[in-house]
Structure 1
Amino acid sequence: MRYRKLTLALALAVCLSGAIALAAKVMSVSVRDGQVRQSPSFLGKIVGKASYGQSVDVSAEQGDWAKVTLPGGVSGWMHRTALTTEKLALASGGAGGTGSVSGKEMALAGKGFSAQVEADYRRSHGGDFAAIDAMERISYNPSQLLAFLSKGDVHPQGGAK
């Protein structure tokens, strides 16, 4: 009798652990180009990319970082600001539209903007945003950035090597 209870308890524990493993949180990428990194740091090597609206499985969390697995099997870390629990759909917002969206529309949507919201902001705040647009196009090689930081005796936190 005691042997049966122990066997039943062990079987229940195995089933529950399997169910928990299968219940990984699914999130959507909320930025145009989500970078999947080898370590939970903005300076970690990029091992994959995820597109706006793509679903990813989250298996762990560490601070502001989530360990994700892409549908193709690539696994790594994404910053939580690039993820949302909402299911994102790519659809045209206008009647009679083509049914697709541009890359700029996807990027704005991922940031919570639309063309109308941006136009209203420009109208109410004035100014020329060309310099900001130019800064958004700048990219740096992570190894060059780490070398620069090392020369300045700056030691980034968050797992950069």
Structure 2
Amino acid sequence: MKMRFKSVIFFTILCSTLVNAETMNVQIKAAALKSTPSFLGKTLQSLHYGESVTSIQKNGEWVEVKATSKKGWLHSSALTTKEIVLSDLSDNAPQNVSSNEVIMAGKGFNAQVESQYRDKNPKLHFDLVDAMEKYQISSDTQQQFVKNGKLAE
């Protein structure tokens, strides 16, 4: 009887896990897969726009996911349940498009839109935004900062 009860419990848990698992897609240029549900967690891997992951569980605004061979946490703002298709549906589409242009176009922001926005906002310093986008901090440097500042327990 005990064995049968344990089997039923195991099967119920397994089924609920499978039902809750959902394929999601990264909807930002680069998403840091974290070891804990925190922006201060160690970065395990970088995931890119359009990559698919399988959700495991939620913890507030964080989603534990399985990405290729690693499990980790992504902030829910980096994910969507919508399918992201990166394909050329036109024979006349330009073939010299960068991955950044594809990402920006997918978000509704391309070189033409940026140019119009710059024209309408001449006092904004886009060179500073460009510099910030190029600035990257390694995971090791971030972890040392968290440790030295005693930001996480």
The TM-score with structure 1 as length reference comes to 0.73
| Cα distance in 1, alignment partners of residues 112 and 85 from structure 2 | 19
Q: Given that residues 26 and 79 in structure 2 are in contact (C-alpha distance below 8 angstroms), is that contact kept between their aligned partners in structure 1?
A: yes
Deviation digits for residues 99-138 of structure 1 (CA, Å, limit 9, x no counterpart):
6852212442465523333223222222341111001111
Q: Which structure has the bigger radius of gyration?
A: 1
Report sequence identity in percent.
31
| Cα distance in 1, alignment partners of residues 40 and 132 from structure 2 | 18
What amino acid is the match of 2:120?
Answer: S
Task: Please state whether the residue corresponding to 1:50 is helix, strand or coil.
Answer: strand
Measured after TM superposition, the shift of residue 20 of structure 1 is 2.1
Measured after TM superposition, the shift of residue 28 of structure 1 is 0.5
Matched, 1:140 2:137: yes
* Counterpart position of 1:68: 65
Q: CA 1:19/1:100 → structure 2, altered by over 3 Å: closer, same or farther?
A: farther
1:82 to 66, 78, 81: 78
| Cα distance in 2, alignment partners of residues 66 and 88 from structure 1 | 19
1:91 to 87, 90, 96: 87
The TM-score with structure 2 as length reference comes to 0.76
Q: Given that residues 28 and 88 in structure 1 are in contact (C-alpha distance below 8 angstroms), is that contact kept between their aligned partners in structure 2?
A: yes
Q: Given that residues 90 and 101 in structure 1 are in contact (C-alpha distance below 8 angstroms), is that contact kept between their aligned partners in structure 2?
A: no
Q: CA 1:146/1:18 → structure 2, altered by over 3 Å: closer, same or farther?
A: closer
Measured after TM superposition, the shift of residue 80 of structure 1 is 1.4
* Counterpart position of 1:115: 111
Root-mean-square deviation over aligned CA pairs? 3.0
Deviation digits for residues 5-25 of structure 1 (CA, Å, limit 9, x no counterpart):
xx7x98776554333222202
* Counterpart position of 2:32: 35
Stretch of structure 1 that moved more, 78-87 or 103-112: 103-112
Count residues with an aligned counterpart. Answer: 149
Q: Given that residues 40 and 146 in structure 2 are in contact (C-alpha distance below 8 angstroms), is that contact kept between their aligned partners in structure 1?
A: no
| Cα distance in 1, alignment partners of residues 16 and 97 from structure 2 | 37
Could you list the runs of 5+ residues in structure 2 that have no partner in the other structure? none
What amino acid is the match of 2:132?
Answer: M
Task: Please state whether the residue corresponding to 1:87 is helix, strand or coil.
Answer: coil
| Cα distance in 2, alignment partners of residues 74 and 113 from structure 1 | 31
What amino acid is the match of 1:89?
Answer: V
Task: Please state whether the residue corresponding to 2:84 is helix, strand or coil.
Answer: coil
User: Higher relative contact order by CA 8 Å / sep ≥ 6: 1 or 2?
Assistant: 1
2:47 to 34, 46, 50: 50
